[in-house]
Structure 1
Amino acid sequence: MTVLILSGVLVLVIGGCVCVFWAARGGPRWVRAVATATLAVGELLRVVDPLRSSNSKRVDSQRE
C-alpha cells in the first residue's frame, strides 16, 4: 500500500515538473495552471522546511 502511495506521489511530482517545463515553452492554459500550482507548492515547502529544520536543531541542542 505504501509503495502505491509513493508511486502516486512520484507520478504527480514528475507530471508537475513536465508541466513547468512545457509552460515555460508556451503550453496551453491548463498546463500553465498546473505549473503555477507546482511552483506554488514548491515555494511553500521551501518556506516551511527551514522552520521545520530549525525546530529540529533546537530540540537536538536541548537534548545535549
Structure 2
Amino acid sequence: MVGLVLLGVLVLGVGGCACVVWAERGGPRWARGVATVTLAVSELVRRSEKNRRRSRNRTASGGE
C-alpha cells in the first residue's frame, strides 16, 4: 500500500515537471496551470526544508 502511494507521488512529480517544460514551450492553458501549481509546491517544500535545517541548527547550538 505504501508503495502505491509513493508511486503515485512519483508519477505526480514527473507529470508536474513535464508540464513545467511543456508550459515553458507554450503549451495549453491547463499545462500552464499545472506548471504553476508544481512550481508553487516545490517552493513550499524548499522553504520548509530550509526552516527545518535552521531549527535543527538552533537546537544543536543551544544545547552547549
Consecutive unaligned residues of structure 2, counting only runs of 5 or more, are none
Percent identity, please. Answer: 56
- Residue correspondence of structure 1 range 19-58 to structure 2 within 5 A: 19-58=19-58
What's 1:10 paired with? 10
Query: Moved runs in structure 1, 4+ residues, more than 4 A?
Result: none
SS in 1 for 2:36: helix
Q: What is the count of residue pairs matched by the alignment? A: 64
Deviation at 1:49, TM superposition (A): 1.2
Give, as a single letter, the amino acid of the residue that structure 2 aligns with 1:45: V
Deviation at 1:63, TM superposition (A): 5.2
Give, as a single letter, the amino acid of the residue that structure 2 aligns with 1:49: E
- TM-score w.r.t. length of structure 1: 0.87
Task: Please give the alpha-carbon distance, in whole angstroms, between the structure 2 residues aligned to 1:4 and 1:63.
Answer: 41
Report the more deviating stretch, 52-61 or 28-37: 52-61
- TM-score w.r.t. length of structure 2: 0.87
